[in-house]
Chains A and B, each alone.
Chain A
Amino acid sequence: MALKVFSIPALPRVNSGAARLLPVSTTLLAALVSILPLRIPGYAALTPAFTLMAAYHWTIYRPDLLPPLSLFAIGLVEDLAVGAPVGVSALLLLLAYTAVLGYRRHFVDRTFPFVWAGFTLLAVTAMLGLWALHCLLDATLLDLRTTLFRIVLTIAIFPLASFLLGRAQRALIGSGS
């Protein structure tokens, strides 16, 4: 069982260095984008979970190019940069990776609405889990509304992120499945 879940499928080989780095670099970029100060009222609290989108996309299409160690490192850097409790994002990204990898074959080669539905499921679970973890760490009941709005915004932005990531993927790697 464990072997099946954690095994990374054999995908067409990618030789170009830039193409091999694409999944890791775009996920890192997503982490950077989420700390940009856009001067929109209330934006800071509702910033969509960009790294989760990138991690989801690449786990489905090119898990071989997104090693868990890179997700761990990106998560740590994100937490350190944001000022959040260290390790929380790393934990979230790795658990998301594990979950998506297990069901990956159901999503590859499917139409976009199907992929989007999968992300919706992941975003809701991951961000409610994150909320519960923060409640535990701070030992208070945090306002759930902000988290709910953030989930909605994250799901709404996903098509755009998916489009951009798909474009970059086709340009550099070719359609991978």
Chain B
Amino acid sequence: MIRLSPQLRAAIQRTTLPLLILASAAIVLVGKADRMLFDSLRTATTDSIAPALETVSGPVAAAGNLVDRVRGFIDTYEQNQRLVQENERLLKWQQTALDLASDNKKLRGLVRAVPENAISYVTARVIGSSGGAYVRTVMINAGSDEHVARGQAAITGEGLVGRLTEVGSRAARVLLITDLNSRIPVVIESSHTNAVLAGDNSERPHLIYLSARNAVKVGDRVVTSGEGGVFPPGLPVGVVSAIDASGPRVEPFVDLSQLGYVMIVDYGLSESLPQAIPVAAHNGRRGKPGAGDEAAVH
């Protein structure tokens, strides 16, 4: 190590702190002006801490599972009763679904419908979440090595979780539908009204850009519209739970604080995405509906 004179050392020590404070402030401003700037650095960080997080989050998840199991033992009887009833009900639904599927197939043949893209899934474990009040994201242990790509939808059995915003080689980040920057094109199932589901960091995102404002009522199901072609249409998102000053609020089907595993949907269309998606003009630029719209609304 180089020997410095005590005066010089003291001078360096005195100036480091103010300089670093200025540097951080400058980084905040630069990052605000150009959101893409730190993307590759983010991806690299995510990738490099993924193995550590994977190791640590395993036992944490195991401890959570243990609690669930103990709880499961305690109410086995009630749960069993409930499941028997549910099973009966679901068997009826299964019959209905099979009937409808065969009907659907016949009718599609009759009208010569264009076949939908095949969907494939990659299942990944949630290894990190965003600590803090200002971001809603989770980190998953799948990346481009598993053919996961930016812009794809993350779902669970219950419904939509979010959209992939950064993809490294072995880890990726999912922007949850509740994040301030999340914008998802959706449709109200009962009235076929188009809208955009906008997160605001609260647990229940709201609907904006409703094409017909009074066409929404509490209890309506909200699903993805597939507009823009990135998400498959019809992914369940949530139900309208209240209508307040900022518009209708949607209660997501998925409990986003209890995510263990998510499935990444490959709809075979992610190539149609422009390479750089602005992570969000949060006040939502309104674009023409069409292929380029996805970039504008997200």
Contacts and interface: CB of A to CB of B under 8 A. Distances in A.
Interface of A: 2-3, 6-8, 32, 34-47, 49-50, 67-69, 71-72, 75-77, 80-88, 90-91, 94-95, 97-98, 130-131, 133-134, 137-140, 142-143, 146-147, 150
Nearest to A37: B129
Given A6-B14, A90-B24, A134 B134 contact: yes
Given A69-B20, A87-B31, A143-B201, A7 B133 contact: no
A147 B56 CA distance: 27
Given A41-B258, A81-B49, A150 B23 contact: no
Interface in B115-139: 126-139
A85 B45 contact: no
Nearest to B49: A81
A91 B24 contact: yes
Contacts of B133: 45-46, 131, 134, 142, 146-147, 150
B282 A138 contact: yes
A8 to B, nearest CB: 6
A162 B188 CA distance: 51
Nearest to B175: A83
A60 to B, nearest CB: 16
B210 interface: no
B225 to A, nearest CB: 25
B130 A35 contact: yes
Given A35-B130, A87-B27, A77 B45 contact: yes
B41 interface: yes
Closest 6 CB pairs of A and B: A87-B27, A47-B131, A34-B131, A91-B24, A87-B28, A80-B45
A95 to B, nearest CB: 7
19 contacts: A6-B13, A6-B17, A6-B18, A7-B13, A32-B52, A36-B53, A36-B128, A37-B126, A37-B129, A37-B259, A39-B258, A42-B203, A42-B257, A44-B257, A87-B25, A87-B26, A91-B28, A138-B180, A150-B133
A8 B56 contact: no
Contacts of A97: 17
Contacts of B139: 35, 81
A122 B49 CA distance: 29
Given A41-B257, A75-B24, A137 B17 contact: no
A50 B131 CA distance: 10
B21 interface: yes
Given A7-B10, A83-B166, A146-B133, 12 more contacts: A32-B52, A39-B257, A44-B257, A46-B133, A80-B42, A81-B45, A86-B38, A87-B25, A98-B17, A134-B134, A137-B32, A142-B180
A32 B27 contact: no
Nearest to A95: B21
A4 B52 CA distance: 40
A80 B49 CA distance: 11
A112 to B, nearest CB: 25
A10 to B, nearest CB: 12
B20 A36 contact: no
A40 B21 CA distance: 35
Interface stretch (B57-65, B213-221, B270-278): B57-65
A76 B20 CA distance: 12
A21 B259 CA distance: 35
B94 interface: no
B190 interface: no
Nearest to B65: A39
B85 interface: no
Interface in B24-40: 24-28, 31-32, 38
B5 interface: no
Contacts of B23: 72
Nearest to B174: A83
B260 interface: yes
B16 interface: yes
Nearest to B128: A35
Contacts of B46: 80-81
